[in-house]
Every structure is written in structure tokens, then in C-alpha cells.
Amino acid sequence: MDVIQFLADMVRIPSVSLFADDGSIIRRNYREVADLIARTAKEAGLLVEVVDLLNGEVPTLLIRLPEAPNKPSLAFVTHYDVVPARGPWRLEGREVDPFEPVVTEDRVYGRGAADDKSAIAAVLGGLAELAGEAGKLRYNPVLVVTGDEEVGGAGVRALLQKGYRWDRVIIVDSGSEYVSIGASGVVAGWIKVRGRSGHAGYPFEARNAAEDLVELLHALRGFKEQRARKVSSLPAPPGSPVARVWGRFSVTILKLPPSEPEKHNRIPGEAWAGFDMRLIPEESLEEALGELYSAFSAAVARTAVNASLEVFSAQRGWYTKNEEFKAEVLEAARRAYRACGMQGEVGVAAELGGNDGTFFDEFGMDVIAFGTIRSGTNIHSEGEFVYIKDIEMYKRFVRELLLR
């Protein structure tokens, strides 16, 4: 199969997921991209099981070899949903649609080209090349493709709640430069400040929610420093400013709610700030949330601002516990690098981001992560791309891991 053409075809389908203002999930084109993946897998001689999750809104694919070896099961976990993209993008001096892929000699550009549709293409291509060799494999592999990863992992959680289990799991939504032995926890929510709206010419008759929000965020700066003092025992990815994974707190959105008209001469009665908090892999989610609520309460008390804190997504981190599995994956990655003539030595680190590994870890499965997303490939940003060499390397990795 032509994995690059397959990847380009997936990128053309804007399978976007995002949170609405009320915290509900907006999903677009999930069924279309799932149908394409299923059709391609069947054409490659693989078996496809479709599991409809969350009232049929999140079709999930389980793709297997036609002859399943009687060996321990191994799941390669990927996702087809992508973050929204606003175009046009400027690539090499021209404007392009984020969902119209651009294929060059060494790259594929487009929203989702790296995160995470390159993973789907690479694993499916690797499994297709192993059809007919099931008797030689050390594991019984399955490619798991689901949605909602970008909005908290509801797809994977629903799949696991239906009773699906595997002996070992590789999260392919990950970097290609190191084997990931853990990932950060993620908490997301809103800080909502209420005041009293009014005419900007008469500010003494109003209470400016936007200005109160700025004051409250300033009072929370100490919590950002408190989070940074949380340091993991696990190494951070190459190029990180800190040697080990650390805690983080970021204000990511400043906005007025839909009920507030945006006018220069109107003082808003309500203003919101969106935030993202990152936990170190070993950290207790309950303790981290307790510290967040405590810091928020103290800031409200100091500023006398009328505010509320709403957490709509909270996920703890995870870390690898099976040293034998870690050694197998690391050695297979290094062999794949050498076979493809790639430079550098594959090491280990924990992710600064979060991923679906959390949910498999919660059910006691052995988890590790290794993927196709090299640093600097602009995931979640303008000009996202994947290196073609990383896709080819990962196809080889699938072979090296399963055949040894």
C-alpha cells in the first residue's frame, strides 16, 4: 500500500474535535475518516472490527492480521481526531488550506499529518507487510484507531469500559526521537469572573469584569511558580529547559462569554480565562486539584473578585512499570533507526504532554509510547508536518518489534 497517499487522503478529511463553551464535545467528520481507514485496511488484507462508541458518535476501529498468532496481545493505539486549524497557512511562499495536504520530497504538510494520522498510516502499513507471517510473531498485534483524544480521551475510555483489554500497549501518538516511558497529567478549565456591565463613559457605575480577571490572574502568578517546583524523577524530552519533567500552569484563553457583546465603549459584566495545568507523571490528580482550588480561593480572598473555577477535564499522568517491555521497545526502535540509516541514538524520556496511556495504565496494562512525531513539526500549530522518513522508520519498527 502507498502509506503516503493514504496519509494525504486522511488529512483531506477535517476530523476535528473541540470543546464548546459549555464543555460539551464538538465532533466533525469522524465517520468519514473511519470509513476511509477501514476501507484501506481491508484492501491491504487486514481484518477490521468497528466498535461504535458514545451513542455511535465515535466509531473505533480494531485492525488485525488475518491469522492471529497465539501470543500475548499488543495494541498500537492511535487517534484520527485533530485540533482545529485556521487557514490559510503560508508554505514556501504560497497560501494553502490546512486540510489540503502538501507532499514534498521529505515531508507531508497538513493538519493531522503528524498528530496523529501519520501513526495510523505507519502502523497499518507495517501490519500489511506482515500479513502471512503471523506464525513468526512474538505478539498478536492490533491497531486501535479512535477519536476524542484531543478532547480528553473519551473514545479510549469508552472502549476500555466495554471490556477491551490487551497485555501490552504502545501509544503511537508520541515522539520518534525517544521512547516515552511516561506522560504528564492534564487539567483544563475556566476561571469565570463576574462584574456589572455598563457604559465605558461611566465606569464608576459598573464593575469591569475584564479588569477584575486581569487582577485575579496576577494574584495567581505564585501558583504558576508553585507548579514549576514539582519535579519528576523521569527525564524530560531532549531540548527541554529542565532536565526532568516539571509541573506547569498556563493561561491559554482570554475571552468574553457569548452573552457579552464585544464593544470598545461597553464595560463587560463577565470575562473568562481558560487554563491548562500539567502534572508530573507520578503526581496524584486529587492532590494537584486540591492545590489548584486552594490557590484559587486564596487569590479570590486577596482580590475580593467575584469569580468561580470550573474544571471540565482532569487526567492524571502515567509511567512505564514493566522494564522488560521497555527494553524490548527501545531495542526495536534502535534497530529500526539503524535499518533506515537514521542518525542518533534513541533514548528514553517522559512526555511533557498527556496521552491516552493514562487510561490503559489505570486498568493495569503495560504501557509505553513511541511514535512518528518528531520535535519541531508544528503539531497543533500552523504548518504542521511529518517527516516521511519517520513514517518509514516506524513501519520498520513494527516489524522489528513483532518478528524478534
For 164-205, write each residue's pLDDT tens digit: 999 999 999 999 999 999 999 999 999 999 999 999 999 999
- Report the domain count for the chain: 2
Q: How confident is the model at residue 258 (pLDDT cuts 50, 70, 90)?
A: very high
Range of the domain at 381: 3-183+317-403
Residue by residue, what is the 3-state secondary structure of the chain?
Answer: CCHHHHHHHHHCCCCEEEECCCCCEEECCHHHHHHHHHHHHHHCCCEEEEEEECCCCEEEEEEECCCCCCCCEEEEEEECCECCCCCCEEECCEEECCCCCEECCCEEECCCCCCCHHHHHHHHHHHHHHCCCHHHCCCEEEEEEECCHHHCCHHHHHHHHCCCCCCEEEECCCECCEEECEECEEEEEEEEEECECEECCCHHHCECHHHHHHHHHHHCHHHHHHHHCCEEEEECCCCCCCCEEECEEEEEEEECCCCCCCCCCEECCEEEEEEEEEECCCCCHHHHHHHHHHHHHHHHHHHCCCEEEEEEEEECCEECCCHHHHHHHHHHHHHHHHHCCCCCCCEEECCCCCCCHHHHHHCCCEEEECCCECCCCCCCCCCCEEEHHHHHHHHHHHHHHHHC
Domain boundary among 288, 315, 342: 315
Rounded to the nearest integer, the mean pLDDT of the chain is 96
For 318-343, write each residue's pLDDT tens digit: 999 999 999 999 999 999 999 999 98
Domain boundary among 315, 347, 366: 315
Mean pLDDT confidence for 145-152: 93
174 and 221 assigned to the same domain: no
Whether the per-residue pLDDT at 404 is higher than 80: the answer is: no
**Residue 22, pLDDT score:** 83
Q: 45: domain CATH number? A: 3.40.630.10
Q: How confident is the model at residue 132 (pLDDT cuts 50, 70, 90)?
A: confident
129 and 81 assigned to the same domain: yes
For 11-64, write each residue's pLDDT tens digit: 999 999 998 978 799 999 999 999 999 999 999 999 999 999 999 999 999 999
Domain boundary among 291, 315, 339: 315
Mean pLDDT confidence for 261-278: 98
279 and 332 assigned to the same domain: no
Of 174, 125, 162, the residue nearest 5 (C-alpha): 125
Determine phi and psi for 367, rounding to 5 degrees: -125, 140
Q: How confident is the model at residue 153 (pLDDT cuts 50, 70, 90)?
A: confident
For 81-90, write each residue's pLDDT tens digit: 999 999 999 9
Whether the per-residue pLDDT at 67 is higher than 90: the answer is: no
Does residue 75 contact residue 142 with C-beta atoms inside 8 Å? yes
Whether the per-residue pLDDT at 108 is higher than 90: the answer is: yes
